[in-house]
Amino acid sequence: MPQIKIYQEDDIPSPMRRLWQAFASNPFALAGLWVIIGLLFFTLFGPWLAPFSPEAQNPKALLLPPSWDPAGTVEHFLGTDDLGRDIFSRILHGVQLTFGMSLAVVITALLLGFVIGAISGMMKGLKSSILGHLLDALLSIPSLLMAILVVAVLGPGLGNVFWAVGIALTPQFVRAIHQAIHEELQKEYVTAARLDGANSAQIFWYVIMPNVWEVVIIQTTLAISTAILDIAALGFLNLGAQAPSPEWGAMVFQGLDNLLTAPWTMTIPGLAILFTVLAVNLVGDGLRSALAPIKN
């Protein structure tokens, strides 16, 4: 026999459940999330799902249009380039090099920036002021320009692009975390926790950080879209991935010569970059809107 409830009990959702409910109420953010889940899937399994090797050339299928064109074939769904390479296969392999590398770069920059920003944010006086002005000077340089300067010193290549974009993004994380922690230190609840006998480590982790995670999450989503654009831009400028790499920016550069005769060789990887950045930005905006009511 089921238990009879005499009193009406309110179902109070947890903060994570409220966050998901607020996020899921935004259809655009939810669509962006599904796109990112698909990109993560292709990052892990894309090379095994691709029907052809990204460097396999077919002399009998040069500059074939996509399959929806009357001259296209289903075998090459998105067409081929001037060397007969299957564009669909190259797009699937390029997910790892553009989107996957951007995630790795952002995670590395986040870890490094979090450590430096947390230490500097807990400082006071002259050291904190000097570091703040130094970060302002670094942030005055656009991330792409800083990445180009680093690549110019280290040389082109995907390995150097990883460190170049990571070095360019780290000051953004340091500045955002430093500023957020420094502002929270000035509030009254931190003083109350200090008067209750909490030490610096307890104040940082249990008092300040719960109010700083919003800044970290939003900065991370912004950094992912910036990293994708920087990696693709370096590939397009021939400073990043080198031919015959299927990195999306390098594919746009390689299809530049065939823009008028075979525009799909350039527009398809360009659209892949566009929709990936759009999906990341939609998720970031959705998280920002969902986190605001919880914080308030």
Question: Residue 61 and residue 78: Cα distance in Å, rounded?
Answer: 12
CB 117 within 8 A of CB 177: yes
Q: What is the pLDDT of residues 13-55, one digit of tens each?
A: 777 788 888 888 999 999 999 999 999 999 999 889 999 989 8
CATH number, domain containing residue 268: 1.10.3720.10
Residue 79 located in a structural domain: no
- Strand-pair partners of 198: none
pLDDT in tens, 83-138: 899 999 999 999 999 999 999 999 999 999 998 888 888 877 666 677 777 777 77
- If pLDDT is split at 50, 70 and 90, which confidence band does 244 have? confident
Question: ∠ at Cα 230 (229, 234), nearest 5°?
Answer: 115
19 part of a folded domain: no
Q: Quote the domain boundaries for residue 229.
A: 26-47+87-291
In this structure, is residue 7 part of a structural domain? no
In a domain, 21, yes or no: no
Is the residue at 160 inside a domain?
yes
Is residue 282 one of the residues assigned to a domain?
yes
| Number of compact structural domains in the chain | 1
Tokens of 222: 């912004």
Would residue 232 count as lying in a domain? yes
Q: Is residue 60 part of a domain?
A: no
